[in-house]
Amino acid sequence: MTDLEHLKTDALTRIENAPDAAALEALRIEFLGKQGSISGLMKTLGKMTPEERQIQGPLLNGLRTETADAIAARKAVIEDAELEARLATESLDLTLPAPEAPKGSVHPVSQVMDELAEIFADLGFSVATGPEIEDEWHNFTALNMAETHPARAMHDTFYFPDVDSDGRRMLLRTHTSPVQIRSMVKQGAPIRIIAPGRVYRSDSDATHTPMFHQVEGLVIDRDIHLGHLKWTLETFLKAFFEREDIVLRLRPSYFPFTEPSVEVDVGWQDVNGRRVLGGDGDAPGHGWMELLGSGMVNARVIEFAGLDAQEWQGFAFGVGVDRLAMLKYGMDDLRAFFDGDQRWLDHYGFSPFDQPTLSAGVGAKA
Ligand code: PHE
């Protein structure tokens, strides 16, 4: 056997026996790499006489091709085997028990906001949002609460030390009503929106937390009147509390941004010492509970937002989401909403798979 034949048998045997991809790659470098033995032989062709080269050329080229082919063939075999091995270990045993159920739950506030969005979507409302860091113009001035207006002081506002580029003081919004202004300025009229979100007031006890949630409602169109407001609130509250016997009482009230303003009470009845919503609050054993503020949007607010108050009017309402959740799902301390206590969340939270839908009744099967 010539040296060349020796080299070839040796190379092919070792390639054939390479146990894995790494060993094979080492062999490729050993034979065909820049400093490889076969590459080295190829370089000697240049120094040969034409006659020598005529004989050695085809032999060396053949050696190089055969070696490369052998490496490719072995590589395919190794890769197939590796795939087989992986498939064998990754096999799925369908007889194993299911993994533990997910622990997370939907907070009652999120649940109620989803329910409200669902109910109002059915009435043709879309969901609008605004920033929690507001300026005093959107939060107060455009809502007809001038600098000196006493209602500003009533809101226990958290102010920032900064002013914005227009010199307006920045604050944490004290209600969702600034979204009324932002919606009118941005989309003009007509409008039919709800705006759920966080609001902030410097206040804290069993029924007040410095951060809480409201949902604002706003309808702007032609020929809107108080009857539309009452029907909308009645329809919404019947769907939300899932009772047909919800009775509302509208009381004259005052908000700077609505005229007239109405406070809305809902009738309750005593059921085994518990107040349950439903029924006429004036009946014996019944009573009224204050639920939300509302009214016809003040013409000045419509003008502040850049619309013609001769052409457009509408109603607005604002309601506490946390309070709606407490009334519907029976919690009695608002502070627990924001403690993050796992036991409370396990008890009052909702399954993420239990999406509120009107057809199934928006209430969750807690
Ligand atoms: N923004 C009022 C509040 O926070 C509620 C409200 C909204 C009243 C819209 C009337 C109309 O108390």
Please give the pLDDT value at position 366. Answer: 45
For ligand 1, say whether the CB of 298 is within 6 Å of any of its atoms: no
Supply the residue whose CA is at minimum distance from atom 7 of ligand 1: 318
Please give the pLDDT value at position 137. Answer: 96
Identify whether 98 is part of a domain: no
**Residues 220, 306 share a domain:** yes
For ligand 1, say whether the CB of 314 is within 6 Å of any of its atoms: no
Please give the pLDDT value at position 1. Answer: 60
The number of the ligand 1 atom at minimal distance from the alpha carbon of 261 is 10
**Could you give the CA distance from residue 291 to residue 56 in angstroms, rounded to a whole number?**
100
From 61, 89, 117, the end of a domain falls on 89
- For residues 14 and 38, the answer to whether their CB atoms sit within 8 Å is no
- For residues 300 and 293, the answer to whether their CB atoms sit within 8 Å is no
For ligand 1, say whether the CB of 295 is within 6 Å of any of its atoms: yes
Identify whether 25 is part of a domain: yes
Please give the pLDDT value at position 364. Answer: 58
**Residues 43, 181 share a domain:** no
359 CA distance to ligand 1 centroid (A)? Answer: 30
Please report, for residues 135, 168, 364, the alpha-carbon distance to residue 138 in angstroms, rounded to integers and kept in the order given: 6, 10, 35
Please give the pLDDT value at position 365. Answer: 53
For ligand 1, say whether the CB of 267 is within 6 Å of any of its atoms: no
Tell me whether the omega of the peptide bond preceding residue 256 falls within 30 degrees of 0, making it cis: no
| Residue range(s) defining the domain that contains residue 240 | 108-348
Q: Side chain identity at 330, as an amino acid letter?
A: G
Please give the pLDDT value at position 152. Answer: 80
Supply the residue whose CA is at minimum distance from atom 9 of ligand 1: 317
Please give the pLDDT value at position 68. Answer: 94
Residue 75, both tokens: 């590589």
Identify whether 148 is part of a domain: yes
**Could you give the CA distance from residue 151 to residue 145 in angstroms, rounded to a whole number?**
7
Pocket test for ligand 1, best of 201, 214, 255 (most atoms within 8 A of CB): 255
Run of H or E including 264:
strand 258-271
Instruction: Give the domain CATH number at 120.
Output: 3.30.930.10
To which residue do tokens 């001769």 refer?
310
**Residues 176, 136 share a domain:** yes
**Residues 181, 112 share a domain:** yes
Identify whether 355 is part of a domain: no
Please give the pLDDT value at position 102. Answer: 66
**Residues 284, 143 share a domain:** yes
Supply the residue whose CA is at minimum distance from atom 4 of ligand 1: 175
Read off the pLDDT of residues 276-307 as tens digits, 9 standing for 90 and up: 999 999 999 999 999 999 999 999 999 999 99
For ligand 1, say whether the CB of 144 is within 6 Å of any of its atoms: no
Give 98-103 contacts, CB < 8 A, sequence gap 24+: 102/352
From 89, 121, 153, the end of a domain falls on 89
DSSP character for 206? T
Please give the tally of structural domains in the chain: 2
Identify whether 357 is part of a domain: no
Tell me whether the omega of the peptide bond preceding residue 190 falls within 30 degrees of 0, making it cis: yes
pTM (predicted TM-score): 0.72
**Residues 113, 53 share a domain:** no
From 59, 89, 119, the end of a domain falls on 89
**Could you give the CA distance from residue 69 to residue 169 in angstroms, rounded to a whole number?**
77
Identify whether 99 is part of a domain: no
Query: Per residue of the chain (366 residues), what is the pLDDT tens digit?
Result: 688 888 899 999 999 999 999 999 999 999 999 999 999 888 898 899 999 989 889 999 999 999 999 999 999 999 999 999 998 888 888 888 887 776 788 999 999 999 999 999 999 999 999 999 999 999 999 999 988 887 787 678 999 998 889 899 999 999 999 999 999 999 999 999 999 999 999 888 877 899 999 999 999 999 999 999 999 999 999 999 999 999 999 999 999 999 999 999 999 999 888 889 999 999 999 999 999 999 999 999 999 999 999 999 999 999 999 999 999 998 988 889 999 898 999 899 998 877 777 766 676 554
Please give the pLDDT value at position 70. Answer: 94
Residue 74, both tokens: 């072995």
191 CA distance to ligand 1 centroid (A)? Answer: 17
Supply the residue whose CA is at minimum distance from atom 5 of ligand 1: 318
**Residues 150, 14 share a domain:** no
**Could you give the CA distance from residue 241 to residue 291 in angstroms, rounded to a whole number?**
13
Cross-strand partners of 250? 264
Please give the pLDDT value at position 91. Answer: 81
**Could you give the CA distance from residue 137 to residue 143 in angstroms, rounded to a whole number?**
8
**Residues 29, 157 share a domain:** no
Cα angle 149-153-157, degrees, rounded to a multiple of 5: 125
- For residues 192 and 222, the answer to whether their CB atoms sit within 8 Å is no
Identify whether 124 is part of a domain: yes
**Residues 239, 116 share a domain:** yes
Run of H or E including 89:
helix 50-89
**Residues 119, 55 share a domain:** no
Q: 292 in helix, strand or coil? A: strand
Residue 53, both tokens: 């080269």
**Residues 19, 126 share a domain:** no
**Residues 33, 151 share a domain:** no
For ligand 1, say whether the CB of 255 is within 6 Å of any of its atoms: yes
Identify whether 23 is part of a domain: yes
